[in-house]
Amino acid sequence: MAFNHPYLQEKIIDVKPVEAGQKWKGIVANYREKEKDPFLFKKVVKSFELPLNPASKGGGVVVVLDSVKKNVCPDIMDENGKPQELTELEYFEKIIGKPLNPYLPKDINFWRSDSRARVQIRDARLRLDLRNPMDMIKYKILAANEGKFAKSPQEYRRIRRASYEYVFTNVDELRDETLERLELEAKAYSLFDTVTKSETEMKDFLRVAGKMPSETANYKQLKAMVGKLMEEDRDFFVKVLSDPHYEDKLFIANARRVGAVEQKRNIFTLDTGVELGSITDAIRWFNKDDNQETRLRIQAQIDQLKEVEK
Q: What is the pLDDT of residue 307?
A: 87
Q: What is the pLDDT of residue 89?
A: 97
Q: What is the mean pLDDT of each successive set of 10 residues along the chain, which is 310 residues long? A: 84 84 41 45 80 84 96 94 96 96 94 96 89 97 95 85 90 72 90 95 95 91 96 94 96 95 94 95 96 96 88
Q: What is the pLDDT of residue 20?
A: 52
- Tell me how far CA of residue 15 lies from CA of 99, 123, 126, 141, 151, in angstroms: 28, 11, 5, 13, 10
Q: For residue 75, give every residue at least 6 positions away whose Cβ sits within 8 Å of its Cβ, in sequence order, or none.
A: 5, 83
**Euclidean distance between CA atoms 102 and 108, whole angstroms:** 10
Q: What is the pLDDT of residue 34?
A: 45
- State CA 291 to chain mean position distance: 41
- Domains of the chain from N-terminus onward: 12-171 (no CATH), 245-310 (3.30.250)
Q: What is the pLDDT of residue 2?
A: 57
**0.85 cut: is pTM over it?**
no
Residue 47 near residue 27, CB atoms below 8 Å: no
Residue 40 near residue 115, CB atoms below 8 Å: no
**Euclidean distance between CA atoms 33 and 86, whole angstroms:** 52
Q: What is the pLDDT of residue 25?
A: 39
- Tell me how far CA of residue 140 lies from CA of 13, 62, 98, 159, in angstroms: 12, 10, 17, 21
Q: What is the pLDDT of residue 174?
A: 66
Q: What is the pLDDT of residue 19?
A: 66
Among 281, 219, 197, 198, CA closest to 245: 281
At 19, phi and psi to the nearest 5?
Answer: -70, 160
H-type alpha helices, the chain: 31-34, 88-96, 110-113, 133-144, 153-159, 171-195, 199-208, 219-232, 234-242, 246-257, 279-286, 292-309
